[in-house]
Amino acid sequence: MKMWFLGTGAGRPAKHRNVSAIALQLPEPRGWWLFDAGEATQHALLHLPLKLSRLEAIFITHLHGDHLFGLPGLLGSRSFDGGVSPLKIYGPKGLKSYVENTFAISGTHVEYEMTIIELEDGAELDAFYRDDLLQVDARPLQHRVPCFGYRVTESDKPGRLMAEKLKERGLASGPVFGKIKRGESVELPDGTIVKPEDFTDGTVPGRVIAILGDTSPCRQVEELARNADLLVHEATFAAGLEEKAHEFGHSTTTEAAKAALAAGAARLAMTHFSGRYGNEELWQLEEEAKAIFPAVFAATDGSCVDIPRRSSVRGEKPGK
A 10 A CB-CB count for 280 gives 8
The answer to whether 62 touches 140, Cβ cutoff 8 Å, is no
Q: Specify whether 132 is catalytic.
A: no
CA geometry: angle at 126 spanning 120 and 128, to 5°? 65
Instruction: Please check if 67 is assigned to a binding site.
Output: yes
Instruction: Please check if 233 is assigned to a binding site.
Output: no
Question: What's the half-sphere exposure (Cβ side, CA atoms, 13 Å) at 303?
Answer: 15
Cα 267 to chain centroid distance, Å, stands at: 13
In DSSP notation, 127-152 reads EEEE-SSEEEEEEE-BSSS--EEEEE
Work out whether the CA dihedral 269, 61, 244, 12 comes out positive or negative. positive
The answer to whether 217 touches 260, Cβ cutoff 8 Å, is no
Angstrom distance (rounded) from CA 11 to CA 276 = 11
Instruction: Please check if 143 is assigned to a binding site.
Output: yes
Angstrom distance (rounded) from CA 214 to CA 245 = 11
The answer to whether 114 touches 84, Cβ cutoff 8 Å, is no
Cα 151 to chain centroid distance, Å, stands at: 7
Instruction: Please check if 64 is assigned to a binding site.
Output: yes
Instruction: Please check if 214 is assigned to a binding site.
Output: yes
Instruction: Please check if 301 is assigned to a binding site.
Output: no
Instruction: Please check if 66 is assigned to a binding site.
Output: yes
List 66, 137, 229, 301, catalytic entry: 66
Angstrom distance (rounded) from CA 136 to CA 138 = 7
Residues involved in catalysis: 66
Binding-site annotation, residues for Zn(2+): 62, 64, 66-67, 143, 214, 272
Binding-site annotation, residues: 62, 64, 66-67, 143, 214, 272
